[in-house]
Amino acid sequence: MRIGKGVNLFDYVKAHKLKNVIAAKVDGKIVDLNFTLDKESDVEFIDINSKEGLEILRHSAAHIMAQAIQTLFKNAKFAIGPAIENGFYYDVDIGRPLTQDDLKAIEVQMKKITAANYPFVRTNVSKKEALKLFKEKGDEYKVEIIESIPDEQVSLYQQGDFVDFCRGPHIPSTGYLKHFKLLSVASAYFRGDETRPSMQRIYGTAFATKEDLDNYLNFLEEVKKRDHRKLGKELDLFSINDDVGAGFVIWHPKGAMLREIIETFEKKEHLKRGYEFVRGPELLKTQLWKVSGHYDNYRENMYFTEIENVSFGIKPMNCLGHIQVYKSRLRSYRELPKRFFELGVVHRHEKSGVLHGLLRVREFTQDDAHIFCTKEQLNDEIIGVLDFVKYAMDIFKFDYEMEISTRPEKSIGTDEDWENATNALINALENTKRPYQINEGDGAFYGPKIDVKLKDAIGRKWQCATIQCDFTLPERFNLEYIDKDGLPKRPVMVHRVILGSIERFIAVLIENYAGDFPLWLAPIQARVIPVSEKFDNYANDVYEQLKKAEIRVDIEKRNETISKKIRYAELEKIPYVLVVGQKESEKNGVSVRKRKEGDLGLLSIDEFITKIKNESGGVL
């Protein structure tokens, strides 16, 4: 709408009884609602429920939290306090670790501040004045941040007795914040630099309505219940400990079996699609990493060592080994495409602060493949990978979205190569009518990529599969094939993973299924429980018959009551319990209990084997 010069937007909203408005766009620029128009302008009001409105609300919540902290901790110092997806945080230094009781006290103080309904007041001052203010307060973090800004004029916001350096905008007054919750405290280095002081990052969330806040808090409770680190320990799947080293996973028998099931599935499906298995070394000379561009563009994520005065890099990716396989002899156009597959172990130097269970580790296995093809074959090869991704996601029951990540600021290769590679990915998606988004500047340093983001059972998105189109590494390594005209030509290289990091994918599976895996994925599909020691021999006989039928089975040997043994199996999320006693041994059968369904009655061993095979769906 068009509004005339001299109108105060807050007064306009109040006069026209516009509900839920907390800010505005004036000629496309977001401003505080207390803004007065200096000329006739196009004005769009921002609703508190909109994406932009929630971001403003949460940014203001961070300031209100900082005010509460200043009230409770007089010597507190502050770094930054932005809005983030679904919430906000503030990095603070109060001289000691914060406790859960501190969080409760801060939240109580925040409620007092919102009840007082202090206005957010913006003032523009010189950079010199702002520096003087924060130096007098003794807040060296704010001083450093202000000093790093080139502008000679800066803005300050004040609510009550709290003043902060900030560009804004903010809600009109603290009373607009009604539905919020402080969630947790974590360590954070000042400006993300691990050589700088460690601060405390206080996380919170805020919503426009109580219903939205309650729904989000319930979602967080569900996330906690599904946490793969918690379930990994409870289900005895894996462990990570300081004696071995952060970011290095120790797989226990059931976790290793889960990996084996997934990797067996992968091998079978790759063979069906014409891939050949290869394997590269985990150490390659540093000189190769220099040729590839990894040394200049990725070395901060790599580990290096020296053998007999020769420098080697531990591989963070599998592509160089596959390139060496391709280069091992002269190739003809008749051989192409060549599809090389490896479940390759890679190492990446991740900072300790970002390590997170199986989701972010320092050693992991990728279901990595590299396709070497002609330019004419490229479209079909990309579509083949897209079809493979769809098949795999259907098997694991995941919906997914795709986006094309384009050239990053730090990259190698010519503009023409990047344009050709990006167009190849776009064409493959559009030719098959697959929807996608563009993710500007997030490609690999050597080529653009299609990123596949799967959705889990509670709506979260996870990055797993990726398809990268690369004209650059074939050029750097002088890869060739002899074309039908007898002349050497340059192949195109497609880097791709279907599940991605096996560790990360297992973490996603654990959280998606809350550890309650479908039968075909369950590390233990059935547990045999003898009602007493008298039937141990028959239990062993049942166990051997099921093992022979390739059913993953174990025997409960703890000296407990039947009800407790069944309870243990429930807690371990084992799909089937087979109780054996006098009746079962006489009829060469088992009494079957299915998880979440209860007693299914007496079945012969052959009937149970058939049932398991049918229910597994023939995936393996």
Residues marked as catalytic? 319, 348, 366, 368, 370, 449, 495
Question: Cα separation of 465 and 453, whole Å?
Answer: 7
Q: Supply the angle between the helices 140-147 and 127-137 in degrees, to the nearest 10.
A: 160
Contacts of 601 (CB under 8 A, 6+ apart): 591, 592
Query: Going edge to edge, which strands form the sheet with 310-314?
Result: 283-285, 310-314, 303-307
Question: Residues 311, 358: contact at Cβ < 8 Å?
Answer: no
Instruction: Report the Cα 445 to chain-centroid distance in Å.
Output: 20
Question: Residues 464, 499: contact at Cβ < 8 Å?
Answer: yes
Sequence length of the chain is: 620
What are the backbone angles phi and psi of residue 314, rounded to the nearest 5°?
A: -75, 130
Question: Cα separation of 581 and 593, whole Å?
Answer: 14
Question: Cα separation of 151 and 126, whole Å?
Answer: 9
3-class DSSP state for residue 366?
Answer: strand
Question: Cα separation of 606 and 603, whole Å?
Answer: 8
Question: Residues 344, 321: contact at Cβ < 8 Å?
Answer: yes
3-class DSSP state for residue 464?
Answer: strand
Sign of CA dihedral 461, 464, 469, 472: positive
- Cα separations in angstroms, 368 against 117, 365, 505, 596: 57, 9, 14, 37
Strand ranges for 483-575 from DSSP E: 488-489, 492-501, 526-530, 553-555
Helix residue ranges per DSSP H, 445-517: 472-476, 502-513
Sign of CA dihedral 327, 333, 335, 340: positive
Within 10 Å of residue 596's Cβ, how many Cβ atoms? 8
Contacts of 592 (CB under 8 A, 6+ apart): 576, 577, 578, 599, 600, 601, 602, 603, 608
Question: Cα separation of 441 and 91, whole Å?
Answer: 28
What are the backbone angles phi and psi of residue 275, rounded to the nearest 5°?
A: -85, 145
The pair of three-digit structure tokens given for residue 328, joined into one six-digit string = 């091992």
Question: Cα separation of 51 and 181, whole Å?
Answer: 19
